[in-house]
Structure 1
Amino acid sequence: MNCTGNDTRLLGSALENEEGKTVPDGIEVGAGHRTRAMTTALAVTGGISVVLAWLEFVLIRQQLAVGLWVIAAAAVAIVLVRVCSAGKPAALGTGLGGFVVVAQAAWLVTGIHALWVTTLTAATALGYFLLASAWAGRSEASTRRAATAIPADFAAAIALVVSASIVSTAASPAPLVRSLHAVGQSNSFEPDAETGTTMVDGARLTNDVEYGSTLPNSFLDIYIADDDPSVSRPTYITIHGGGWIVGDKTDGAPSSDSGGASWAGPMLDAGYNVVSVNYAFAPSYRFPTQTNQLGQAMQFLETNADTYGLDMSRVVLAGTSAGGHIVGNYATVQTNSDYARALGIEPTMDRSSLKAVVFESAALDVGRAGAPQSPSPSNGFFFDVAARNYLDTTDTALLAQANVIDNVTADFPPSFISDGNTGTFPDQAAELSAELDRVGVANRLNLYSKNEARLDHSFMSVDSQWTDEYSRLEIEFLGSIV
């Protein structure tokens, strides 16, 4: 379709050439005329370009597919701009479209984070350039202009805010998480409640015990089964999830009002004392701070075992999601001396006392946190943002250090490994089990097919028959070890 015609002038809601014949409603472009259809094409392509940039930011798992669409939209934009514009606008639009194509292709090939941010910025800018060009090309005499101008301006303002937020978060998600901390859970050196002792479901709960003073959120809760600290029982120490940026030691606890399944209840009934530990949040405190902090908690419990009635010679470490990575990394430090030296962390407990590790939907390979199995855009987006706050995911050496799977040895504790099958990490669970098999470490892999049930990330925190079965199998495995 040709955007230009003979010399024209704007008259009413239509255009007339020098012979007085009307041409389709549009706007003058140099010595030519842009038709309404071409204006619409510019607007649609611009809107698609902006939306694709948003999708590339959110759909972490579908980067290739979305990236190819971004390239296609940029190619269409180049054609439209060359046909419908002249002079500097044409040169600017063509150059911007070409830059998007090159940057997007380079990102897909290399995976360099800076290219991703550059692509998002350029694709967004191209989209708004096309939208602005289309807006400038609308009919000045359109009877709908007054009725649509305000809503259009409002929508454009919202879209600009969204785009600016996306680009800034792509560059660094830390401000986003810090803003969430400002209105919700955050790092604090003050306990949530005054330390005290109460009864919860027949167990003695001592809440908000301070185990350290150098890092925030250094508090833990202690549950003594049957309110009887004189009985020697193994100690089950659990670390909550929340992407290293949110969460609390009471999540799913019998003392909380969350309505979720209680992890403490089955363990207390099975004859364990339970300790739930809080830790400092990223991005203010990043890997491996949380590993060090868990070490502080373990030392505190060892020193004060008699005070609280704990047996620290029989310890099970359990972690959910992000907590699974923390306990896995801590256990690796205790059992792999070369790894501990490389990370610069000293072991803080006797290996013989660490009887087993329990992994619940654990993010074992942080570099793949944004790509959970079975597409889940919301989970993938959250996990990716969380991982980038926890450590620099563009640093391949650091990612290798943080990879629990690749650093286990034959001295790693026996492990119970479980996960769901939707929006979570069953692939990582299976890889850890296979690696432990290879080095000769006893373990049990507990996964379910989708033919049995659709189980989400951390399904064991939701009351269901599958949670009951999970608890039974976990306790059965630990009974053979502890």
Structure 2
Amino acid sequence: MTNPSPHRWRKRALWTLGIVIVLVGAVVLAFVLSPRPGALTVRWVFDRDAVKVTEALEKHAPEGVDSIKDQQYRADDDAYLDVYFPAATTTALPTVIWTHGGAWISGSKSNYAPYYELLASRGYTVVSLDYSLGPEHHYPTAVRQLNDAHAYVVANAERLHVDPTKIVLAGDSAGAQLSSQLAALITDPAYADRVGVNPSLRPDQLRGVVLNCGIYDVGNMVGGPGIIGWGVDRSLWAYTGVRDFMSTEAADQMSILNYVTDRFPPVYVSGGNADPLTDSQSKPLADKLTGLGVGVDTLFYPADHVPALGHEYQFDLDNADGLTALDRTVQFLAAHTR
């Protein structure tokens, strides 16, 4: 058998190299021209981590909690919610409506379900909401869906064991941003008009807001270094649908730090000492609301706290600080709904 000549080997190598260059160029171009590849990469990472956290929470799941799942809260839309409540409940209970995080491009209502069961076991109805994600859907779709979810919860209050006069909005990460935005809409008609949403809840129905590791000032999120900064930029591009998202109404309206008023409901705000969002987002919001005279309950940690507490630390119930955060959340709920 005749071996290929060196010339033929070089020719094959050049062809192979050319194909690799074209493929790499196509991938790079896709990441440059569209938020989709980057957003789907971030989604994969976030969803993988959420599964791990949810599995770790399973050992803490309480007994004696029932649920009503997969309730479609918006007709002709892929929007569902789950409801958790103490077993054998026959009365309406103070209700926590929880919006999950995931950088507006990932996540599910079933993420962290054992955590919602724990809250329910303390005497609450807990509603976990799904909403449409970027890049498939853009702002303000999620805001409008969540507002419709609130309407559904109130309209079905008796069946879902909801006390519609004692509602607390809650969320983590991007879900905290969304919950805080809905709270601002509910309590400030001028802001609601600006966003173009007619709130489903009245201010007197909203007893408080629970915000964990959230985003409240988009401008203070962007341009960060390394992979985290890249992921933030891709997520916001995917969610707003605009590459230069800082020039959009979406980025402005999402930054509720600029829109909260003294009518904002009492709020619990927390973040870990190793979470970069704590100093840039959570603490400024707490300070702004405190200055406005709003009741603010905070749980922050010194910079040298050990162990270092990262993003979404409150879901780590194998850590004493996660358990403390859970207890503080329940205390806040009791203080404002009993």
Shared fold by TM > 0.5? yes
Query: Contact 1:422–1:457 at 8 Å: present in 2 too?
Result: yes
1:323 matches 2:178: no
Gaps of 5+ in 1: 1-143, 186-198, 255-262
Query: Contact 2:92–2:158 at 8 Å: present in 1 too?
Result: no
Identify if the C-alpha distance between structure 1 residues 481 and 167 changes in structure 2 by more than 3 Å, giving closer, same or farther: same
Identify if the C-alpha distance between structure 1 residues 323 and 158 changes in structure 2 by more than 3 Å, giving closer, same or farther: farther
Aligned twin of 2:232: 383
CA distance in 2, matches of 1:457, 1:388: 21
Identify if the C-alpha distance between structure 1 residues 177 and 147 changes in structure 2 by more than 3 Å, giving closer, same or farther: same
Query: Contact 1:370–1:382 at 8 Å: present in 2 too?
Result: no
Identify if the C-alpha distance between structure 1 residues 202 and 247 changes in structure 2 by more than 3 Å, giving closer, same or farther: same
Identity %: 26
Identify if the C-alpha distance between structure 1 residues 166 and 404 changes in structure 2 by more than 3 Å, giving closer, same or farther: farther
Identify if the C-alpha distance between structure 1 residues 414 and 153 changes in structure 2 by more than 3 Å, giving closer, same or farther: farther
Identify if the C-alpha distance between structure 1 residues 168 and 268 changes in structure 2 by more than 3 Å, giving closer, same or farther: same
CA distance in 1, matches of 2:210, 2:68: 23
Deviations 1:77-97 (A, max 9, x none): xxxxxxxxxxxxxxxxxxxxx
SS in structure 2 at match of 1:470:
helix
Query: Contact 1:367–1:387 at 8 Å: present in 2 too?
Result: no
Q: How far did residue 297 of structure 1 move?
A: 0.7
Q: How far did residue 248 of structure 1 move?
A: 0.6
Q: How far did residue 449 of structure 1 move?
A: 3.0
Letter in 1 for 2:308: R
Superposition pairs of residues 42-441 of structure 1, within 5 angstroms: 157-158=19-20, 161-174=23-36, 177=39, 201-216=63-78, 218-225=79-86, 227-254=87-114, 263-370=115-222, 377-391=226-240, 392=242, 393-426=245-278, 427-441=280-294
User: Which of 466, 469, 473 is the aligned partner of 2:328?
Assistant: 473
Deviations 1:316-337 (A, max 9, x none): 1111111111111111111111
Identify if the C-alpha distance between structure 1 residues 168 and 308 changes in structure 2 by more than 3 Å, giving closer, same or farther: same
SS in structure 1 at match of 2:148:
helix
Query: Segments of 4+ in structure 1 off by > 6 A?
Result: 144-153, 178-182
Identify if the C-alpha distance between structure 1 residues 456 and 154 changes in structure 2 by more than 3 Å, giving closer, same or farther: farther
CA distance in 2, matches of 1:302, 1:288: 22
SS in structure 2 at match of 1:448:
coil
Identify if the C-alpha distance between structure 1 residues 158 and 292 changes in structure 2 by more than 3 Å, giving closer, same or farther: same
SS in structure 2 at match of 1:230:
coil
Give the RMSD, CA atoms, in angstroms.
Answer: 3.0
Gaps of 5+ in 2: 1-5, 48-60
Q: Which has the higher contact order (CA 8 A, sep 6+)?
A: 2
When normalised by structure 2's length, the TM-score is 0.82
Query: Contact 1:369–1:387 at 8 Å: present in 2 too?
Result: no
CA distance in 2, matches of 1:319, 1:335: 18
Letter in 2 for 1:302: V
CA distance in 2, matches of 1:152, 1:319: 54
Q: How far did residue 229 of structure 1 move?
A: 2.6
